[in-house]
Structure 1
């Protein structure tokens, strides 16, 4: 098992993920137990198939449909640690995800999930946002609240018990940035992730939203968690391209019963 810090060029920043390269899937109960034992936001399991790789992700609580930083971590392990060359194509629950090495970084080719309207702000969300929201929308797995400015994102104090009641949705807060085009933070307490340090998957919706708001398709993003992480993004038709780096922290051996 490898542990990788994703969306960073330095150890102890970005978002850590564990990666296991398998010949065959382990029982689901075993994969979940490993993820729970790791207690990281995500543990990725990958195995080779004739036309690429099958990829699955587990939080400490359950399997998820989509994860960006653990996809980056997996690509880094395959390319940097195991010497796999060329484009990597991962078969996942959200379709084919492609990763290409770009010098010292990796470009992730993800589907675009444009924002879906919610309508009036639900009272509980208004309470969580503290009256600082500008707009709200959703995709298939998260609710997105746009705050008035970057400072509001930085100073946001999450009401985790109420955010947990949004299950099965996570909560993304975002705002126009200063140094970067936009910033965000992400909370998924029901999945065992109080705050995710850097999240690739939410940018499949943030990028089309901010591209429309700012009138540009190439965007610089920063996730304003304690660890933090920078993402270079591009909206390309119905795909979102995200470029980021990764560094290996640890290689370990697991002893299964």
Structure 2
């Protein structure tokens, strides 16, 4: 008897996976989960989804992923070993080995990396990456932001383009940001550094030292306008 080719074995495995996937999705549908286009989704056996949750097209749910009730898992999302609470709205989110609370809004195009713990009522916006960080309740990380290796308090607001600078080429360090802080646009927080509760950082600052409670930190060069510079340059 001739040996089966790799192509033949792969085809048989794919057929088995497809059958298992259909059965898994059918069980979830019977339990009250709505799949907009079940044929386009891949859900591994063992994934748990609560009643009233909507799963849009082209979604992959893998590993020990658990999703609460009344969530929306939007088109293009991929969740691996991720636990999500109730009432969350994810749009085109990739999340790996993360724990996420209730009523969290994420995406589009957010990347939630391993070791991240996100509390209730947090926003993780478009083109945001969060890695190995603890994010407090009500914090807003709206767009174009990197938060890595950080402990962030409650009701913190990150301005567009702000980042935590966690790696010096040899070792990674953590940032600590207290409750009710405001991180101005394009702020770089150079770890290890602590921003105490209620503190502000001015837009464009590079913060390397502790910011005391309720202080405003400004760490940028003072603007200088050179009169007539263009005409002199062109002479």
TM-score past 0.5 threshold: no
TM bracket, shorter-chain basis: under 0.3
**More helix, by proportion:** 1
Q: Which has the larger radius of gyration?
A: 2
TM-score if structure 1 supplies the norm length? 0.21
Larger relative contact order (C-alpha < 8 A, sep ≥ 6)?
1
**More strand, by proportion:** 1
